[in-house]
Amino acid sequence: MSSPTDQDVVQDLDRERGPRDDAPPDVAGTAPMLVLAPPTNPHTGEPLRPGTVWVASVCEALAVASLGTALGLTYWSAVYDFGHASWLMAAVADPDTLGRVLLAVAVTAAALIPAIALVIAGYYAWAGYRWSRVAALIAWATTGLALCLNIVALPAIALATVAAVMVWLPPSQRFFTAWQARRHPETRFSPPLDAVSYGPLPRYRATDATMPGLGSQDVAG
């Protein structure tokens, strides 16, 4: 006769006690709620990125390229036509030397601030961090600084708008939720035992009684 395993003992105890009144719905026999989850990579087990996250990341990368190109053109144009190198520079009439330096610093900041925000939002959305949705909104708001540059920077506003919408769509939400559960798995506890049985389990009592020299007495706890 093979000795019972721990799993057999737990299953027998559960059958003897029956379903608990205070058990969760799925333990008591109710069908569990169906939760949609993104497919996982069969090689790594990580959630696969939906198309919305791809679109958001590409749009944010293109927005950064747009801002960088606009800033480079501003620098180039300022060499021979400073007053028309950018919309911000055109708004200031005949600046002195210090004014030109401050304007150059201002247009640089107008390009770098939204570009950095877009890089942060795009990278962490790609990596599956849920807070990147808020970062995308902040990045979209900062792209208003593109109005200080030139027409080449304007596509950054539209691209950041598309990215901010994409990360809030349901497929992206499921992707972020799956990564949140993967990084911070929920702690699961076994249900408490409210009754402990001592002695042979019912499935072994009849077998012990038929064997010579063995009785079916239970040990009182």
Burial class (CB within 10 angstroms; exposed 0-12, middle 13-18, buried 19+) of 191:
exposed
Cβ proximity of 9 and 201 under 8 Å = yes
Examine residue 104 and state whether it is found in any structural domain, yes or no: yes
123 inside domain: yes
Taken in order 155, 161, 162, 164, is the CA torsion positive or negative? positive
Which CA distances in Å does 154 have to 71, 88, 131?
12, 14, 26
148 found inside a domain: yes
pLDDT tens, residue order, the chain (221 aa): 444 444 554 455 455 555 554 454 444 444 444 456 666 767 767 788 899 999 999 999 999 999 999 999 999 999 888 888 899 888 887 888 898 999 999 999 999 999 999 999 999 999 999 999 999 999 999 999 999 999 999 999 999 999 999 999 999 999 998 888 888 777 777 777 777 777 777 777 766 555 555 544 444 44
User: Is residue 149 a contact partner of residue 110, using CB atoms and an 8 Å limit?
Assistant: yes
Residue whose C-alpha is closest to residue 48's, from 163, 182, 166, 146 = 182
- Could you give the number of structural domains in the chain? 1
Q: Classify residue 92: in a domain, yes or no.
A: yes
The full DSSP string for 155-209 is HHHHHHHHHHHHTTSHHHHHHHHHHHHHHSPPP--PPP-S----SS-HHHHHHHH
User: What token pair was written down for 209?
Assistant: 């009684």
Q: Domain of 103?
A: 51-181
For the stretch 52-89, what's the b/e string if a residue is b when 16 or more beta carbons lie within 10 angstroms of its beta carbon? bbebbbebbbbbbebbbbbbebbeebbeeebbebbbbb
CA distance 55 to 202: 61
Does 190 reside within a domain? Answer: no
Q: How far is CA 186 from the centre of its chain?
A: 15
Answer whether residue 106 is part of any domain.
yes
